[in-house]
Amino acid sequence: MNTIEARVEELLARMTLPEKIGQMWQIHGAAPENKEFIRRGQVGSCLNVIGRDAEAFQRVARAESRLGIPLIFGRDVIHGFKTILPIPLGQAASFNPEVARDGARMAAHEAAAASIHWTFAPMVDIAHDPRWGRVAEGCGEDPYLAGCMGAAMVEGFQGSPVTTTHNGPKAQRAKAQKNLAKPGSIAACAKHYVGYGAAEGGRDYNTTLIPERTLRNTYLPPFKACVDAGACTLMSAFNDLNDVPATGNAFALRQVLKKEWKFDGFVVSDWGSVTEMIAHGYCADEKEAAFKSARAGVDMEMVSPSYSTHLEKLVADGTVPLDWIDDAVRRILRIKFRLGLFDRPVVPEIPPSVILSHEHLRVAYRAALESCVLLKNDGCLPVAAGHKTIAVIGPLANAPADQLGCWVMDGDQEAVCTPLLALRLVLGSDCLLDSPGLRNARDTGRVQFDAAEAAARVSDVILLFLGEDAGLSGEAHCRAFLELPGAQTELVDRVTKAAAGKPVIAVVMAGRPLVVQPWINQVSALLWAWHPGSMGGAAITDLLLGSEAPSGRLPISFPRTVGQVPTYYNKKNTGRPPIEGQWGAPLGTPLDPKDFTSKYMDADFTPEFTFGFGLGYTTFAYSAVTLSRTSLKPKGTLTAKVTITNTGTRPGAAVPQLYIRDLTATATRPLKELKGFQKFTLAPGESRTVTFDVGSEELAFWNGDMKFAAEPGRFHLWIAADSTCASHPPAEFALL
Ligand code: GLC
């Protein structure tokens, strides 16, 4: 038995039942009366207690409780601590796991300097519905991309030496956790386990009905990637999962996570989700909630006190076996030992000087640069030098708090570089005409419209900064409509008309995809910046002025209208697939069976922008894919190859994406699935041949017999610039 396991067992053997149950409770806040709970050994963790308060609580735990077991301090360091990164959806748009890993590493250092040991991130809930406010916190609609980005964040937070390759996470868990006890590493928490993003109607906390095969093929894989990357903890979700709340769901927690995946960390419930099972109608009272959560495999209860209040009696009367308690406490102690909490000093080993350091701001700048996605450009970008006057219009041009986005607990608004600030620093103020047009993102007043129109009239280029305020996305912030809020659409109309044909460049900061019709037809270019974080303004300015080029790709599809939701690229074909361009139903149309396909009469069935799409300042040519073989033995691999050439006049990032379709199987399969991607820069005229290896790992799925297997048969394969895979017909191969 290794040292840590021996130390766990030795300590566990000395613990009383109340002390064991104490480890299973996470309390909230730094109220002084919490010290008494800690002194009595009734608390294993605190959330939202940082800095000096955390040090004080830790001293009580170490010096005044009977066994001196250290507390583990948790906090939502979702996309940065004080130096704020783009929202995770934006980081996913970078299609670059290094961006996610470096960002998480930076965030971990800043959090560790504030005595935080554990972050409740990454969130890897697959989401097909942009109405859901929490789509901002996740990594988009695709299981493979979410898995790669989530695993990279885990590695960044936990200081893993293992790198996530673009062919998917290959980390060995023990190796991945070897730096956990080093200063600057904090425990990760993959959340919200599981299926939370499938909330009906895009309404947070709502019901989720997910067939097991879909759960295993779509919603579980990103969590498995995080567990394989060594995630120390997972968080059970709020949602009712197939009639059993996720926090009381033994199938998900004990069967899949702990038994099948052999996860040896611990599970914390989401805030109050244990006792919310009463409201779900799954538990009669807190006592039953404690029983059903413990039975399901929740090891630590966040905030609600049902474990602390009822578990001792439930063990005494035989309802809860002592084994459940010992297993939970073993897991918690194991992570505390792996983090080095028993051995490290109470005061942080990372100096506060790292916070908002130039190096950290540089990390945030690069993340913002790589997360922006160019969705339209009529050639006006990059903005040519030498323009006399540039109008800077819109409510997001100088909105520090909104630019940071949701889930910012400790972000420093003073340290935010907004687009207006950056433009002034780069171009000077003389050539800028700053006219917000609206007081904030939701303002419906038109009083400033005249000034905005006047600015547009006298300027050579108009920059329009639009989007959502931070409060319009995140937890419990769901929207039934996806248009620009407030009077922004009218602002676009008035300004573009006043511009009278001069370039109008829209930059949108938002926590989700939005409906961009009809105003997108009025603007010359559209750059999607998500909520880009502390250095968003600097990154956007460098992209608009051309010292950098956009390289982001969409991690989530954009619907043409909210009526299309859910929109996602990896959908099924159906028995009557719609035909591109086929829609509409002229009056008096005879009922012609040929039109009876899965389409709308009043909207194009395809999305406005598809998963994986993004433009740059150059163009690329993709050769046809070649395969090293067209028939594959069960344990063999083939190599798919394509040559990509920069056919433009500027350097640019290519993001070749590998998609595969299983044409016939024992369960219906998606039209295509992302199975790999790469990202690299090519100079004008430069070519690069890229390869992807394909084997049973890329082809396996949970099949008609509910077995994870690659089935013999024909497959299509693309290596393309986005999920439309329009450049060439697919290559075909057979698995024997
Ligand atoms: C919230 C969120 C969860 C967060 C936790 C602690 O309700 O659902 O993501 O980590 O509570 O703040």
For the stretch 580-614, pLDDT in tens is: 887 777 677 667 666 789 999 899 999 999 999 99
Q: Grade residue 169 by pLDDT with cuts at 50, 70 and 90.
A: very low
Q: Grade residue 165 by pLDDT with cuts at 50, 70 and 90.
A: very low
Choice among 204, 270, 469, 662 that is catalytic: 270
Question: What average pLDDT score do residues 216-223 get?
Answer: 98
pLDDT in tens, 291-341: 999 999 999 999 999 999 999 999 999 999 999 999 999 999 999 999 999
The pLDDT, as a whole number, for residue 174 is: 72
CB distance 441 to 483 below 8 Å: no
pLDDT in tens, 517-546: 999 999 999 999 999 999 999 999 999 999
Examine residue 382 and say whether the peptide bond preceding it is cis (omega within 30 degrees of 0).
Answer: yes
Examine residue 566 and say whether the peptide bond preceding it is cis (omega within 30 degrees of 0).
Answer: yes
The alpha-carbon radius of gyration of the chain (Å, integer) is 26
Nearest CA, atom 10, ligand 1: 120
Q: Grade residue 572 by pLDDT with cuts at 50, 70 and 90.
A: very high
The pLDDT, as a whole number, for residue 422 is: 98
Question: Percent of the chain beyond pLDDT 70?
Answer: 97
* pTM recorded for the entire structure: 0.97
Find the 720 Cα to ligand 1 centroid distance in Å.
37
Amino acid at site 109: H
The pLDDT, as a whole number, for residue 589 is: 67
Question: What average pLDDT score do residues 146-172 get?
Answer: 77
Choice among 80-84, 91-95, 172-176 with the minimum mean pLDDT: 172-176
pLDDT in tens, 448-495: 999 999 999 999 999 999 999 999 999 999 999 999 999 999 999 999
Does 270 qualify as catalytic in the annotation? Answer: yes
Rounded to whole angstroms, the Cα distance separating 297 from 399 reads 44
pLDDT in tens, 359-390: 999 999 999 999 999 999 999 999 988 878 99
Assess whether pLDDT exceeds 60 at residue 170: no
Which one of 271, 304, 406, 473 would you pick to mutate in the ligand 1 pocket, going by the greatest count of ligand atoms within 8 A of its CB? 271
Atom of ligand 1 nearest to the CA of 74: 6
Question: What average pLDDT score do residues 655-659 get?
Answer: 98
Which one of 47, 194, 276, 475 would you pick to mutate in the ligand 1 pocket, going by the greatest count of ligand atoms within 8 A of its CB? 475
Atom of ligand 1 nearest to the CA of 121: 10
Q: How many CB atoms lie within 10 A of CB 16?
A: 12
pLDDT in tens, 109-143: 999 999 999 999 999 999 999 999 999 999 999 99
Find the 15 Cα to ligand 1 centroid distance in Å.
30
Ligand 1, pocket residues at CB < 6 Å: 47, 76, 120, 191, 270-271, 475
Q: Grade residue 178 by pLDDT with cuts at 50, 70 and 90.
A: confident
CB distance 531 to 403 below 8 Å: yes
Assess whether pLDDT exceeds 50 at residue 168: no
Atom of ligand 1 nearest to the CA of 189: 10
Find the 270 Cα to ligand 1 centroid distance in Å.
6
The pLDDT, as a whole number, for residue 233 is: 98
Assess whether pLDDT exceeds 80 at residue 103: yes
- The strand pairing partners of 526, in sequence order, are 376, 506
Q: Which two tokens stand for residue 257?
A: 């996570």
Closest CA to 682 of 642, 645, 649: 645
